[in-house]
Amino acid sequence: MTHRWDPERYLQYADERGRPFVELLARVGADRPRVVVDLGCGPGNLTGLVRDRWPGAEVLGVDSSPEMVARARRDDPVGRYELGDVRDWRPDRPVDVLLSNATLQWVPGHLDLLPRLLAQVADGGWLAFQVPGNFDQPSHTIRTELAAEEPYASFTRDVAVPASHDAEQYLDVLAGLGCRVDAWETTYLHVLTGPDPVFAWVSGTGARPTLQALPDDVRPRFEQEFRRRLAAAYPSRPHGDGIAVVLPFRRVFVVAQRVG
């Protein structure tokens, strides 16, 4: 089963999901690029920031989800968006800046993909990406453990699960390809409110393929137990004048310049 993305659910935490993209973009040293591609652009809510940064550039958003591309075209009619898979996408000409935000974690073996992505970048151009690095945290391990239990395991055995590497591994690969590399990590402390906020977060991203793989008569039981375990792992606490849940979220950033 191929999972489908839900732009509305994904955008529920648009500010929190967008902050790493802003910080990634700020570290790209391109001055006046002619062609910039946002590879894995999702619903396009961040691609407009690329046009703001480089108003003279030709900016293209690419995503493999028809639902995401349709939402991007609806919300950003002046932008250019097209369907494409990061694993085999090729531009018509070399690009000056190739961005990928929270996408490569869905590509198994994506370290091996980096040379091909770099080959799409012009001499002196930039490859910049960000991936989550929190897959050892309860928000992911609880899903993995629960999905391995019956009666769920037979439905979830082959679902897509995200994975990434440490910053040093990405640095070593790209430096070995002759790039100047800036790699770092940041752990955000997202303060979330509302009912079951961690479940709301993960059900729009990392847990979505698992949830969609379950039949309609099985999914409610899984969700109920998933919510219960997440609430125990991420308890509510006083915050300001209200109650909130704190979700620590580690992210890995890489900005590489191709040396011509």
pLDDT at res. 130? 98
Distance CA 81, CA 78 (A): 10
pLDDT the model gives residue 75: 93
* Residue 5 reports pLDDT greater than 80: no
Phi and psi at residue 120, in whole multiples of 5°?
-85, -5
Between the alpha carbon of residue 97 and those of residues 35, 71, 114, 174, 206, the distances in Å are 7, 24, 14, 15, 27
Residue 205: the pLDDT is 86
pLDDT of res. 1 = 41
Is pLDDT above 80 for 260? no
Q: What is the DSSP letter of 106?
A: G
| Residue owning tokens 């091909």 | 116
Write out the CATH class of domain 7-258: alpha beta
For the whole model, what pTM was predicted?
A: 0.94
pLDDT higher than 70, residue 8: no
User: What is the percent of the chain where pLDDT is above 90?
Assistant: 88
| Statement: residue 4 has pLDDT above 50 | yes
* Whether residue 3 has pLDDT greater than 70: no
**What SS3 state is found at 1?**
coil
Q: Helix 138-147 and helix 219-233: axis angle, to 10°?
A: 150
Q: Return the pLDDT at 2.
A: 53
The 10s digit of each residue's pLDDT in 170-222 is 999 999 999 999 999 999 999 999 999 999 999 988 889 999 999 999 999 99
